[in-house]
Structure 1
Amino acid sequence: MAITGPDFIALQVRDLEAAARWYQQHLGLTRAAVSPPHAVVFDTTPTFALRDPLPGVDLDAIRPRPGVGVALWMGDDNAEALHDSLAAAGVSMVGEPFQGPFGYTFTFLDPDGYAVTVHQA
């Protein structure tokens, strides 16, 4: 056996439907045809999903915010336009955009406080 790498990435969120709408509206993600109970799966590669918190997980108790210590990166073929759209919508940014080894790069906070980095794909 050999691990081939990440296959499925899911964020635990406070309000599943609100978070799914946010990712659809602001990032243009499309829901997959099928999602398991208590989750919304998007049509991405690798698979990206949102889910209700697992038993015992209190997202409000995680300091300073959920996902600290995890770097979640997403590619976009026009990262600069996405940045401008998110900024215009009042989405919180973590620092200024920069040119990195993967092109135009920026990080924003989603409604649950997860830091998501976007780079030019």
Structure 2
Amino acid sequence: MSASVVTIVYVNDAPAAARFYGELLGIGPSLETPGYIAFDLGPGADLALWAEQFEGLAEVPRTSEVCLAIDGGPEELEAVFQQWQSTGVTILHEPHDAGFGRTFLAADPDGNRIRVAPQD
């Protein structure tokens, strides 16, 4: 069986969220519809932003996060942190050491969590 993994992030405004993620990732969408926009992250991995999926759903706590795994070690992580902070990205937890290495946590405009961590 051939499969790919699509991480779906629920957002209020798909075009606005796509601009945010496109700027953070430095890439453009691979698929765009009015309420669903996807980014090809490489072989077998996509990030999709899906709007208009909240009607009739109970409020659910956010229990997951998108993780951007980067090369380059702690210096690269600090550079990403400084860049994101300078552009006004909401930072939830500044760079710190965790069991898997240096990391920080940010949020998109809808409150979805974005972790930056070292690549395994």
Same fold (TM over 0.5): yes
Matches within 5 A, 1:23-102: 23-32=21-30, 34-35=31-32, 38-45=35-42, 46-54=45-53, 56=55, 62=59, 68-77=62-71, 78-102=76-100
- Measured against aligned partners, the alpha-carbon deviations of 1:1-42 in whole angstroms (never above 9, x if no partner) come to 8xx8x711111111111110111112323322x346621110
Alignment match, 1:105: 103
Could you say what the CA RMSD is over the residues aligned between the two structures, in angstroms?
2.6
* Inter-partner Cα distance in structure 2 for 1:14 and 1:98: 30
Identity, in percent, stands at 29
The one-letter amino acid of 1:113's match is G
For the residue of structure 1 that corresponds to 2:78, the secondary structure is helix
Rounded to whole Å, the distance in 1 between the matches of 2:106 and 2:34 is: 28
**Bigger Cα displacement from structure 2, 76-85 vs 10-19:** 76-85
Q: Distance in 2 between matches of 1:55 and 1:69?
A: 16
Q: TM-score, normalised by structure 1?
A: 0.75
Shift in Å at residue 80 of structure 1? 2.2
Q: Which residues of structure 2 form unaligned runs of 5+?
A: none
Q: Indicate if the aligned counterparts of 1:31 and 1:43 stay in contact, CA closer than 8 A.
A: yes
Number of matched pairs = 112
TM-score by length of 2: 0.75
**1:92 shift after superposition:** 1.4
3-state secondary structure, aligned to 1:68? coil
Separation of aligned partners in 2, 1:15 and 1:37: 9
Offset, 1:55: 5.5
Secondary structure in structure 1 of the residue aligned to 2:41: coil
Query: Aligned partners of 1:55, 1:71: CA distance in 2, in Å?
Result: 18
